[in-house]
Structure 1
């Protein structure tokens, strides 16, 4: 296992997008230490900020987190990255495979545009987790994003594919959703605002947009299969999918082929 140990709080935001087990595997520790990671004229390198211990394996641990560590795992295509602590914005944004785990919390746009692999955040996430960055066509696009704590507003904005699990989310969860599945213990106001397709499963919600219409309580094979698939990731979410649910169709102000499943009673 290769290890990067943060020396102290970075004096500026760091761009760790190119730092993956694969990119480090062919480098000596001296070569890896010269990799540029700074975002200002200081010209900071990886060695300026981290102590390095590399063994060429497909597992990388980053010891010591900071909200100034941006783009962690964004280039990950295989292998494992584990961060002990917090990270900044765009965690795993654009990653195509592998496993990315953060023991702390993450900043905004976690998982944006991720097409494969699994991202797990043990703490909280900022706004637009699984959402689209500025001018992007889609947010989460095939990966699995698990947020054990709370996410901010606009969770899964323009999400196209994949699975997004969260404990609690703010307003506009699943807004402009294209497809995919979001499962949350609770969400804020206006879930699914402007969604075209996709599925949102939640135990409770704030104010609903008037363009969502209740269509009754249903017992569908799809829900049983969803509960089974969620069981390996989160038992509470699996129990939610297996319980009595009321279906809302929407957003009827757009294409209207999305669905919001809410715990009945």
Structure 2
């Protein structure tokens, strides 16, 4: 059976809250009922049917044909199933997801994968600030799952991450991995200034180096850890489907000693 498909009719004239378009929310609904669901965020009501042409299919597999930077909260709270977006999305894609798979074939806005606890989220383009991080006032960022951005990301990617893995194929903005408690953040490109600011534990790998490392990180020398080679194989065999580490020796910096100081930052030797 083909996927439940939402085909964009035209660029929306307001931001849209698409958090209701997940398998768990749509279970038991027919095409007319889905088309009548409200998704507008202003005083001018917009329904699913006004914005999208709806083609019924397998509710466990949802496809958006056409994207927009005004598509907010796609896949929020996803627990199972798959969502494919053929285009860009706005903020909070995959926020609080605990399972399933989301693939965005375009760019994403702020807080992609915010506080996710499981599942797999892939963004083919770039992503905005606070990738995997918490919203203002929240104490925990990402607590599990895998988040993969093929492009570059904004500032404070992985803020307050506690578990899980974030892989960035391009560059990262300032303060990547800020306030990390645990987990892994890999930036294949160059990290902005002060990666790992106030991190307590966890691992950051800046494959292209960093603009500037904080003064409260201690140089532990050049390491050739076996774990890098094992991780490279695991990533290639897992959902990422590609190696993200070449296993080469790297310089280890311990910190942030301004916090608990049990984290590690790896940069080229």
Common fold: TM-score over 0.5: yes
Show the counterpart of 1:201: 205
Tell me, which stretches of 5 or more residues in structure 1 are unaligned? none
Distance 2:174 2:258 in 1: 18
- Report deviation, 1:236: 5.1
Query: Does 2:260 match 1:258?
Result: no
Task: Provide Cα deviations, 1:78-101, integer angstroms capped at 9, x if missing partner.
Answer: 010000000000010001100000
Query: Does 2:205 match 1:192?
Result: no
Alpha carbons 2:166, 2:186 under 8 Å: kept: yes
Show the counterpart of 1:177: 180
- Report deviation, 1:22: 3.4
Distance 1:75 1:138 in 2: 16
Alpha carbons 2:145, 2:165 under 8 Å: kept: yes
Distance 1:194 1:213 in 2: 13
- Report deviation, 1:45: 1.2
Task: Provide Cα deviations, 1:158-213, integer angstroms capped at 9, x if missing partner.
Answer: 11110000021111000111110001112111000010110001111111100001
Alpha carbons 1:25, 1:55 under 8 Å: kept: no
Number of residue pairs aligned between Structure 1 and Structure 2: 262
Alpha carbons 2:102, 2:120 under 8 Å: kept: yes
Counting only pairs closer than 5 Å after superposition, residues 24-43 of structure 1 correspond to structure 2 as 24-43=26-45
Distance 1:225 1:31 in 2: 49
Alpha carbons 1:122, 1:147 under 8 Å: kept: yes
Task: Determine helix, strand or coil for the equivalent of 2:266.
Answer: strand
Alpha carbons 1:108, 1:129 under 8 Å: kept: yes
Please, which moves more after superposition, 230-239 or 69-78? 230-239
Task: Provide Cα deviations, 1:190-246, integer angstroms capped at 9, x if missing partner.
Answer: 00001011000111111110000110122334333322222232645221xx11111
Task: Determine helix, strand or coil for the equivalent of 1:237.
Answer: coil
- Report deviation, 1:75: 2.3
Show the counterpart of 1:244: 249
Tell me, which stretches of 5 or more residues in structure 2 are unaligned? none
Alpha carbons 2:76, 2:93 under 8 Å: kept: yes
Distance 1:41 1:249 in 2: 52
TM-score w.r.t. the length of structure 2 is: 0.94
TM-score w.r.t. the length of structure 1 is: 0.95
Show the counterpart of 2:52: 50
Show the counterpart of 2:223: 218
The one of 227, 233, 248 equivalent to 1:228 is 233
Distance 2:79 2:262 in 1: 32
Alpha carbons 2:224, 2:248 under 8 Å: kept: no
> How big is the alpha-carbon RMSD for the aligned residues of Structure 1 and Structure 2?
1.2
Task: Determine helix, strand or coil for the equivalent of 1:150.
Answer: coil
